[in-house]
Amino acid sequence: MDNEVVLTKEGQKALLDRLEFLKTDKRAEVAKKIGVAREFGDLSENAEYDSAKEEQAQVEAEISEIENRLRFARIIDKEDIDTSVVSAGCFVKVKDLDFDDEIEYQIVGATESDPLNGTISNESPVGSALLGKKVGDCVSVVLSHNNNSTIRYEIMSIRV
């Protein structure tokens, strides 16, 4: 499915929480701003009104985007993850073969990735190179075609 969004249960909960906040608190806050701005009179030259309406459009766009993600979500259940190979939802410890460092990543869907905090997308160069590999396998990932930057990893462990 082209629109499929891979989410962990934690990612799904975060999106549901954000959606609830936007639909309740944020919508009410923006509606109040619009009401206050209307009281200033002439709407054609009312910067506060224009700003509030723009914020309302942004909130509604984000609500629509989250609802769409959730509609096409494939939720990863930890109990269904096969740790014999790297797959979305698992944690994989790799050894950088050039620098002799060990790094652990959690492979998640693109909407949840946060590389600075150790979660990488299953669609990223490193994430997609690791998918389907087993402990002991080595992968080479081209990070930049411009300067031939390649990183080499050996898979040390896979867990949920």
Q: Under CATH, which number does the domain 5-76 receive?
A: 1.10.287.180
Closest CA to 107 of 137, 141, 130, 84: 130
Mean pLDDT value across the chain: 91
Asked, colleague to colleague, whether 5-76 and 78-159 share their fold, the answer is no
Q: Which H helix or E strand runs over 121?
A: strand 119-121
Q: Record the pTM.
A: 0.76
Q: For 24-51, what is each residue's pLDDT tens digit?
A: 999 999 999 998 888 877 777 788 888 9
| Across 8-12, 61-65, 143-147, least confident range | 143-147
Distance (Å, rounded) from C-alpha 89 to C-alpha 86?
9
Q: Is the pLDDT of residue 12 over 70?
A: yes
Q: Is the pLDDT of residue 112 over 70?
A: yes
Task: Give the pLDDT score at 47.
Answer: 85
Closest CA to 86 of 108, 115, 56: 108
Per domain, the residue ranges of the chain are: 5-76, 78-159
Collapse the DSSP code of 142 into the 3-class scheme (helix H, G, I; strand E, B; otherwise coil) and give the result: strand
- In words, the CATH class of domain 78-159 is alpha beta
